[in-house]
């Protein structure tokens, strides 16, 4: 799909940095909507909750500009919506972003590498960063420490307002009249 705002006149008018921010926002909007559609196909009984979960997918993490990373983040949050789990703790993709950032500051020690590999496998299944056998070695050597780091990381990355909260619906989803359980009666 061609980029809607990638024209010399727009770049000249708004500036490259502004166009880059807008481009990322439009991409994330498209990816989020696609992940919501996919989640609804997997769990049609939760279609209303999933449709209204779009605000949960908002992020200001610059590493989420990468499609693979952002989609992994969205998928985990949408799975939590379906299962009724807490949507506030950090996602595996957010923990991967943290590990990536930390690795630019200092070399990651074994438990942190194990955490990175574990979170990568959860956030981006089918995109191996290390072999399953190598990951198992990290888990065997430091499972307890990795478990602790995961709990701490997800808690530190918690987003307090990332909840569905009260939903009010006018009975229209993308302009189409629907039977939504959140329509005020």
This prediction has a pTM of 0.86
Residue 92 C-alpha from the chain's centroid:
8
Beta bridge partners of 177: 172
For the chain, 185 residues long, give each residue's pLDDT as a single digit of tens.
445 555 665 555 555 566 567 778 889 999 999 999 999 999 999 999 999 999 999 998 999 999 999 999 999 999 999 999 999 999 999 999 999 999 999 999 999 999 999 999 999 998 888 777 888 888 888 999 999 999 999 999 999 999 998 888 998 898 889 898 899 87
What ranges do the domains of the chain cover? 1-88+161-185, 90-158
| Vertex 75: Cα angle to 184 and 58 (nearest 5) | 65
* Helical segments of 47-131, H only: 47-51, 67-83, 92-105, 110-123
């Amino acid at each position: 799909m061609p980029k809607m705002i990638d024209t010399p006149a727009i770049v000249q008018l708004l500036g490259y940095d502004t166009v880059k921010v807008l481009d990322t926002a439009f991409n994330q909007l498209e990816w989020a909507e696609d992940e919501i559609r996919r989640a609804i196909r997997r769990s049609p009984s939760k279609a209303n909750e999933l449709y209204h979960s779009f605000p949960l997918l908002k992020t200001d993490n610059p590493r989420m500009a990468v499609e693979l990373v952002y989609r992994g983040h969205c998928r985990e949050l949408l799975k939590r919506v379906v299962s009724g789990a807490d949507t506030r703790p950090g996602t595996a993709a957010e923990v991967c972003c943290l590990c990536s950032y930390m690795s630019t500051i200092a070399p990651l020690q074994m438990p942190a590498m194990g955490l990175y590999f574990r979170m990568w496998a959860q956030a981006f299944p089918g995109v191996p960063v290390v072999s399953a056998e190598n990951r198992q070695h990290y888990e065997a050597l430091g499972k307890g420490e990795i478990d602790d780091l995961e709990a701490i990381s997800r808690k530190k990355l918690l987003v307090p307002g990332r909840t569905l909260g009260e939903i009010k619906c006018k009975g229209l989803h993308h302009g189409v009249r629907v039977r939504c359980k959140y329509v005020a009666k």
